[in-house]
Amino acid sequence: MELNQRLYDAFRDQAAQVQVDILSLGLSYTAVQTSNGGTGLAYTYLDNGKTCCQALDSTHYEGRPALEMLQTILDFNPLKRSMGLALINALNHEKALNMSEDPDNKLLFDNLGIGQQTRVAMVGYFGPLMQAFTDRGAVLEVIDMTRGMGDRNEFAAKLRDWADVLFLTSTSILNQTCEDILSQTSSSVRTVMLGPSTPMVPEVFDHLPVTMLAGTAPVDREKVLQAVRNGAGTRMIQRYSRKVHANLK
């Protein structure tokens, strides 16, 4: 996929200059820490019910050049892509920390123009946002195949003919559906890529109709790594992180 290649190309030189210090494959999230102190996250994506030991080979990345792990963003195995995306977010950690903070998602909703009767399509169910949609009077259509929510064909039709705004989980980068989903949207749809997996790298999305990025930048590295090791989900990880956003268009 072009996006994965663009992510690789954007961080190839930087990855050649540092090592991987920590790789932690948690039940919910994967975390990577690099030798220059960067920490990054990505959803731990297991395909077809495989366990981590079934999905990975015996390669040991800790103490090795980060460039070796960066290759995994291009791998056919989605769990390996989780490792690659977490590394990219670690390499981009300092830049992400300096982006605009949005702790209560107000900037996210304001900049996307979400109000009464705004038609919102959501790929990936984001429970913490539901009350905000209700409070603003938005109309919501959700698809999340891991939860058995939604119909692919009906949702695709909504993207073309109905939606004003698209909330797209950045897990779509890992299962390589991101560009296909975005190709189905009408030109008027305002799209945000969101979630802790989101690479806060505006330039790599130049070829895609993405309006905003909304991601997570770890602040307390030790607490974040502990949360990942203990299988914690998004809510716990965000206690020790900063919600950041970037407008692309």
pTM of the model: 0.94
CATH 3.40.50.11590 is right for the domain spanning 100-217+241-247: yes
Please report the pLDDT score of residue 151 as a whole number: 87
Mean pLDDT confidence for 214-238: 97
CB 78 within 8 A of CB 45: yes
Please report the pLDDT score of residue 145 as a whole number: 80
**Confidence category of residue 50, pLDDT binned at 50, 70, 90:** low
Mean pLDDT confidence for 63-78: 96
Residue with tokens 């905000």: 132
Cross-strand pairs, 144: 149
Report helix, strand and coil shares of the chain as percent, to nearest 5. Answer: 40, 25, 35
**Sheet strands side by side (includes 139-143):** 100-101, 241-247, 212-218, 190-194, 165-169, 119-123, 139-143
* Dihedral angle, C-alpha 146, 188, 106, 26, nearest 10 °: 30
pLDDT digits (tens, 9 = 90+) for 38-48: 999 999 998 76
CATH number corresponding to 2-97: 3.30.390.100
Instruction: Compute the distance between CA of residue 159 and CA of residue 166 in angstroms, rounded to an integer.
Output: 8
The residue ranges of every structural domain in the chain are: 2-97, 100-217+241-247
Q: Chain-wide mean pLDDT for the chain?
A: 94
Mean pLDDT confidence for 161-174: 96
DSSP 168: E
% residues pLDDT > 70 (the chain): 96
DSSP 164: S
In the predicted model, is pLDDT for residue 149 greater than 80? yes
